[in-house]
C-alpha cells in the first residue's frame, strides 16, 4: 500500500507538472483525486489494515492527497496566467496605426438657403408653418380662386390620387395660405416652406418635385407698398444692401393685382451675363395683393382686412446663390457634390 501511494504520488506530480491545457488538467484531477480516482481506490483498502498500521498509513495518504491538491492548484494557476498573457498579447493595441478618418456631415445647400430665409422672415415677425404635401384640390385650387376649368388643374400638370380630382400632391405651397386663414387668428404673418409636385420631365432646370416658400401677411390697412418694401428688403438681405429690385405686372388667380419681382443680377450688376441669361435681371418670385374673393372664402371681410402674399422656388434660389447649374445635383445627394459646401 505504501508503494502504491508513492507510485500515485510520483506519477501524479509529474503529470500535473507537464499538463498542457485545461481539459487535460481536469482529466488528471478526476483520475487522481476524483471519487472514483486512484487515491480513493487505495484508501478504500485501509479497512484491510491492522489497527497498528492504520494511523501511519492514514497520515501518509493525507500527505499524498495534500501534495496532489497542491500540485493541481499550482498547475491551474500556471494555466490561468498563461491564458491571460496570451490574451494580452493578442489584444495589444498598436498605437502607431493611423486613426480612421471621421466623415463629417454638412448642411445641404438648400437647407442653408432655407435657414437664411427663415432667419430673415422670423426677424420680421413672421411665423414658420409646415403643412401636408398630400392636399385637397379644394385648398390647392378652389379656395385660391382657381375654379373648375382653370388651366393649372390639368391632369397633364398635376398628380391626382383619384379620378374625382379631389386629392392631389400639392402643386404649390399656396394652399398653406388657406390653412393659415382657416386656423390662425388675425392678423397673420407667416411663411410656409415645403415640397411641391408637378408633372415635369427631369432636366437641368426641372424636377417633378421641388421646393417653394410661401408667404402671407393679413392685417388692417396693408397695401402694395408693404409688399414692395418687405420683399425689396428681403432681396437686400439676400444679395447685399445695394441690390435693386423691380416689380412687373403678372397674373395669379389668387392675387389682384399680381406681380413678379426681379433682382438686378448680382453677378454683372445689370449689364447682362450668363447667370442672368443676358437679361440683367433675375426673376425671384411671384406675389400680389390677396384677392378679395380668397379672403371672403376664408370668412375674412375684405373691407376690414387686406393682405399680400408671395411664393418662390427655393431650389432656384439656392442654385443662384451657390452657382449650381443643374437642379438634379440638389436632389441626387452625391457626397462629392455636397462636400463642396
Question: In the complex, which residues of this chain contact ligand DAH (CB under 6 A)?
Answer: 172, 174, 214, 252, 255, 286-288, 309-311
Q: Which is nearer to ligand DAH, 39 or 309 (CB)?
A: 309
Q: Write down the least CB distance from residue 310 to ligand DAH, Å.
A: 5
Q: Write down the least CB distance from residue 160 to ligand DAH, Å.
A: 17
Closest-CA residue to 43 (of 74, 65, 10): 65
DSSP 1-68: -HHHHHHHHHHHHHHHHH--SHHHHHHHHHHHHSTTSHHHHHHGGGGGS-TTHHHHHHHHHHHHHHHH
Q: Which is nearer to ligand DAH, 16 or 254 (CB)?
A: 254
Q: Which is nearer to ligand DAH, 214 or 315 (CB)?
A: 214
Phi, psi of 212 (to 5 degrees): -125, 160
Q: Which is nearer to ligand DAH, 61 or 173 (CB)?
A: 173
Q: Which is nearer to ligand DAH, 193 or 286 (CB)?
A: 286
DSSP 259-290: EEEEEE-TTTTTS--GGGTTSSEEEEEEEEEE
Phi, psi of 284 (to 5 degrees): -110, -40
Q: Write down the least CB distance from residue 126 to ligand DAH, Å.
A: 13
C-alpha cell at 7: 507510485
Q: Which is nearer to ligand DAH, 182 or 332 (CB)?
A: 182
DSSP 74-122: HHHHHHHHHHHHHHHHHT---TTSPPPPP------HHHHHHHHHHHHHH
Give me the residue whose beta carbon is nearest to ligand DAH: 311
Amino acid at each position: 500500500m505504501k508503494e502504491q501511494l508513492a507510485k500515485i504520488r510520483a506519477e501524479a506530480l509529474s503529470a500535473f507538472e507537464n499538463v498542457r491545457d485545461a481539459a487535460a488538467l481536469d482529466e488528471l484531477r478526476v483520475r487522481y483525486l476524483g471519487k472514483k480516482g486512484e487515491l480513493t481506490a487505495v484508501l478504500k483498502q485501509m479497512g484491510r489494515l491492522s489497527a497498528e498500521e492504520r494511523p501511519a498509513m492514514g497520515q501518509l495518504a493525507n500527505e499524498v492527497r495534500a501534495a496532489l491538491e497542491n500540485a493541481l492548484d499550482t498547475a491551474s494557476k500556471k494555466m490561468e496566467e498563461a491564458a491571460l498573457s496570451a490574451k494580452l498579447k493578442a489584444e495589444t493595441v498598436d498605437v502607431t496605426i493611423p486613426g480612421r478618418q471621421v466623415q463629417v456631415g454638412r448642411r445641404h445647400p438648400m437647407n442653408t438657403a432655407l435657414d437664411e430665409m427663415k432667419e430673415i422672415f422670423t426677424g420680421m415677425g413672421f411665423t414658420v408653418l409646415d403643412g401636408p404635401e398630400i392636399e385637397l384640390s379644394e385648398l390647392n385650387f378652389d379656395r385660391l380662386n382657381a375654379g373648375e376649368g382653370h388651366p393649372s388643374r390639368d391632369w397633364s400638370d398635376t398628380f391626382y390620387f383619384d379620378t374625382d380630382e379631389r386629392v392631389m400632391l400639392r402643386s404649390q405651397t399656396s394652399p398653406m395660405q388657406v390653412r393659415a386663414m382657416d386656423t390662425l387668428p388675425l392678423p397673420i404673418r407667416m411663411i410656409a416652406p415645403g415640397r411641391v409636385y408637378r408633372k415635369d420631365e427631369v432636366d437641368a432646370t426641372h424636377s417633378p418635385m421641388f421646393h417653394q416658400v410661401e408667404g402671407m401677411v393679413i392685417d388692417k390697412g396693408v397695401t402694395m407698398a408693404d409688399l414692395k418694401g418687405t420683399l425689396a428688403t428681403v432681396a437686400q438681405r439676400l444679395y447685399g444692401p445695394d441690390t435693386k429690385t423691380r416689380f412687373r405686372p403678372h397674373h395669379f388667380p389668387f392675387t389682384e393685382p399680381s406681380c413678379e419681382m426681379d433682382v438686378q443680377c448680382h453677378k454683372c450688376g445689370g449689364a447682362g451675363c450668363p447667370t442672368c441669361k443676358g437679361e440683367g435681371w433675375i426673376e425671384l418670385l411671384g406675389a400680389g395683393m390677396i384677392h378679395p374673393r380668397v379672403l371672403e372664402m376664408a370668412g375674412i371681410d375684405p373691407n376690414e382686412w387686406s393682405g399680400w402674399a408671395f411664393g418662390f422656388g427655393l431650389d432656384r434660389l439656392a442654385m443662384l446663390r451657390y452657382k449650381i447649374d443643374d437642379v438634379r445635383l440638389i436632389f441626387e445627394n452625391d457626397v462629392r457634390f455636397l462636400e463642396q459646401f
